[in-house]
Structure 1
Amino acid sequence: MNTKETLIKTLHLQPHPEGGYYKETYRSQGNISKEGLPSAYGGSRNYATGIYFLLTSDSFSAFHKINQDEMWHFYDGAPIRLHIISEAGVYSQHTIGRDIQAGEVPQLVVQGGDWFAAEVMGDDTYSFVGCTVSPGFDFKDFVLPERKELVTLFPEHAEVITRLTHH
């Protein structure tokens, strides 16, 4: 049986700035040129990238955004609750997991430009997922805002933003 310690050690996962642990597992060899992308990218990007992502119940993935669409894939552990605030300020939450009859989904796409955060559903456990990003992920596209900045943008969502930001 997997444990969070086993997954971290065996898969060589490293701490992620948003919270949790990750390891890049795929980066396409092909690139999309700067001219083929919207101006927000400021350079070329790989066609796609993929990571393992492990989140534990004693932490959370803080609200952040990227330019790209990001598809989450559930692998193991407890379900994960994903919180999304669209660019227009619409809040939604989704449960990624195995129990389809309970409304969980095994994969979910976050649209590029949307703010999102995640937390494990349960105590003393973990969620192990994969994330596929297209165009490929680059930390130049990663925005991890301060709490005050996000609450100023979306005061109607201050409670969830405050709970799922680090400072």
Structure 2
Amino acid sequence: MKSKIQDIVERLDLQEHPEGGYFKETHRSVGEITEENLGENYKGSRNYSTTIYFLLTSANFSAFHRIKQDEIWHFYDGSPIRLHVITKDGAYHEHIIGRDFEKGQLPQRIVEGGDWFASEVLENNSYSLAGCTVSPGFSFEDFEMKSKKELVELFPDHEEIIGRLTRY
């Protein structure tokens, strides 16, 4: 499995992502939304949308984080993905992104801007290849990760899952 994962990383020219896994930006729209049209949460303009490849392995996870924008996940290959979401009001939801429609999996899932989310590969010794589309376009200025302690203070009812899917 390691050689297959390494082959995908090399063929798609993926780099390590701060939240875990590997990524490569594949599209950044030319058009921009100006700061005055984005609202008070944004500083500066943003492209209309951005898209990345995102590869996660069962040896790793994507840690809880949030962005200001909506993020659309698209499933491509490998094991289904378990997506964990804690909404702005503290509700927890788990979604499986994949292709097994008989098991209720869907190949696409939207995470609303401002919700905290983490993900992991469903099957052992495997990988998940997905795409993520963000609109307005992604900027690391809009990316936030918190420590386990900080997230548990915000969402004490979800301490177990936060503890398992945070890095520090």
- Answer whether TM exceeds 0.5 for this pair: yes
For 2:62 and 2:96, locate their aligned partners in 1 and report how far apart those are by CA, in whole Å. Answer: 14
| Structure 1 SS opposite 2:53 | strand
* Residue in 1 that maps onto 2:87: 86
Partner residue in 2 for 1:28: 29
Once the 2 structures are TM-superposed, how far is the Cα of residue 13 of structure 1 from its aligned partner? Answer: 0.2
TM-score if structure 1 supplies the norm length?
A: 0.98
Q: CA offsets, 1:132-159, max 9 Å, x none?
A: 0000000000001111100000000000
3-state SS of paired residue (2:144): coil
> CA-to-partner distance for each residue in 1:54-93, whole Å, 9 max, x for gaps?
0000000000000000000000000000000000000000
- Provide the residue aligned with 1:163 in structure 2: 164
Moved over 2 A (4+): none
Which residue in 2 is equivalent to 1:109? Answer: 110
Which residue matches 1:46? 47
Q: Distance between the aligned counterparts of 2:151 and 2:41, measured in 1?
A: 20
Aligned residues: 167
Kindly provide the CA deviation profile for residues 120-139 of structure 1, in whole angstroms up to 9, marking residues without a partner as x. Answer: 01111100000000000000
Q: Which amino acid aligns with 1:120?
A: V
Within 2, Cα distance between the matches of 1:6 and 1:103? 30
Give the distance between the partners of 1:22 and 1:143, measured in 2 at CA: 17
Distance in 2, matches of 1:37 and 1:146, equals: 28
**Structure 2 gaps, min length 5:** none
TM-score by length of structure 2 reads 0.98
Aligned to 2:106, the other structure's residue is in SS state coil
Which consecutive residues of structure 1, in runs of 5 or more, have no partner in the other structure? none
Listed as ranges, the matches of 1:59-98 within 5 Å are 59-98=60-99
- Paired letter, 1:161: I
Per the alignment, residue 9 of structure 1 pairs with: 10
CA distance in 2, matches of 1:38, 1:66: 15
Q: Structure 2: which amino acid aligns with 1:43?
A: G
Describe the superposition over 1:84-131 as per-residue Cα deviations: whole angstroms up to 9, x where unpaired.
000000000000001011010100000000000000011111000000
The 3-state SS of whatever aligns with 2:152 is: helix
